[in-house]
Amino acid sequence: MTNSPYATYPKILRTILLALATISFISSFHAQEKINGLSFVALPDPITNQMLDPVCATHANWITLMPFAYGKIGDRELKYQELNWQWWGESPKGVEQSIQLAHERGLKVMIKPHIWFSHGEYTGNFELNSEADWKVFEDAYHGYIMQFAHISAKHELPLFCLGTELTKFSLQRETFWRQLIDDVREVYKGKLTYAANWDSYTQIPFWDELDYIGIDAYFPLCDHETPSLKALMRGWQPHYKDIQALSEHTGKQVLFTEWGYRSCSHCAKEPWDYSEKSAVNMDAQYNSYLAVFKQFWHQPWFAGGFVWKWFPTHERSGGSDNNKFTPQNKPTQDLIKEWFLANKTK
């Protein structure tokens, strides 16, 4: 590479220096505990302390809380304040009370703000046509994020996520994002990440300003009805190489800000698909989770991740006839418990 700092050295010396740099890069991450996290879904009503019992039973050490703002694709308006109809767990008040309960149980928390665009339209497609419209939207988004940056600072949260799957917004408005990062760091002293969609994480222009490369990791792996572990590991290889390369290039650990699979047939073909028609298939979900644990969890440049998703109403969530994302009351729940325990700092 012509831009390498070692380019002017003799070949053998370059090889030695690059090897030493790689060793230094890897060794710098070895002592860190993995983020064994669950994406903790909000409820319309307040949660109780007992609702965190099943979370702790998985040996999770983190949860992420997901407040929401609301808008429409192509519309500059973003609503996030004084929403009387908003679910308790998605509101600032609910987030703060959930943080307090989580801390009482020894759980670390990351706030990960989302936007719900009408009819559930994909957030990555959001863009606007004029500078004036962008300015209105960005002012609102800035206020939305700063609100939770202040909450993260107040409760001394170790990690905060600046946004979720806003592909066109992040690519077209780099200057805004860099200023937002600066403004957040003025009030919040923890680490920062951004949740990039799996198909755009290599394009995000401001990784250099953040502490983790965040990926919502719904990578397509194979189209088998019940994918075998071997097929899944093979399907991961091109993605794995690209993820590792970006980590090494930036010197930053990778965090799966969301990851998971439905308990249905073909769940690794298009893991983002949430349509209702697919047949229940517990083995497909189990194998897909196992492949991620085997592929990533022992890598020092991999920080961990947040399983999508976990409901506070554990007793009536998931189960043997459920084909959705949650691993609750399914064989995959025991697999998560096993791997989280094995990677927990003693």
Question: Stretch 98-103: mean pLDDT, rounded?
Answer: 98
Quote the CA–CA distance of 335 and 287 in Å, as a whole number: 10
Q: Which two tokens stand for residue 297?
A: 């969890």
Identify the DSSP state of 103: H
For 36-342, the fitting CATH number among 3.40.50.2300, 3.40.30.10, 3.20.20.80, 3.20.20.70 is 3.20.20.80
pLDDT at 81: 87
CB 65 within 8 A of CB 95: yes
Report which of residues 209 and 14 the model is more confident about: 209
Query: Is residue 117 very low, low, confident or very high in pLDDT (cuts 50, 70, 90)?
Result: very high
Report which of residues 230 and 29 the model is more confident about: 230
pLDDT tens, residue by residue, 155-211:
999 999 999 999 999 999 999 999 999 999 999 999 999 999 999 999 999 999 999
Query: Is residue 140 very low, low, confident or very high in pLDDT (cuts 50, 70, 90)?
Result: very high
pLDDT at 18: 39
Query: Is residue 75 very low, low, confident or very high in pLDDT (cuts 50, 70, 90)?
Result: very high
Q: What average pLDDT does the chain have?
A: 92
User: What percent of the chain is helix, strand and coil (3-state, nearest 5)?
Assistant: 45, 20, 40
DSSP string, 125-148: G---SSHHHHHHHHHHHHHHHHHH
User: Dihedral, CA atoms, 64, 70, 71, 77, nearest 10 degrees?
Assistant: -110
User: What percentage of the chain has pLDDT greater than the value 70?
Assistant: 90
Identify the weakest region by mean pLDDT among 11-25, 107-121, 126-140, 219-233: 11-25
pLDDT at 274: 86
Burial 67-96 (b: 16+ CB within 10 A, else e): bbbbbeeeebebbbeeeeebebbbbbebbe
Listed by start position, the domains of the chain span 36-342
Query: Is residue 12 very low, low, confident or very high in pLDDT (cuts 50, 70, 90)?
Result: low
Question: Stretch 271-282: mean pLDDT, rounded?
Answer: 90
Question: Tokens 């308006």 identify what position?
Answer: 77
CA distances (Å), origin 250, targets 15, 19, 245: 19, 16, 9
Q: Which of 45, 60, 34 is nearest to 309 (CA)?
A: 60
Query: Is residue 22 very low, low, confident or very high in pLDDT (cuts 50, 70, 90)?
Result: very low
Identify the weakest region by mean pLDDT among 2-16, 42-56, 227-241, 246-260: 2-16
φ and ψ of 330, to 5 deg:
-135, 165
Quote the CA–CA distance of 340 and 37 in Å, as a whole number: 9
pLDDT at 345: 63
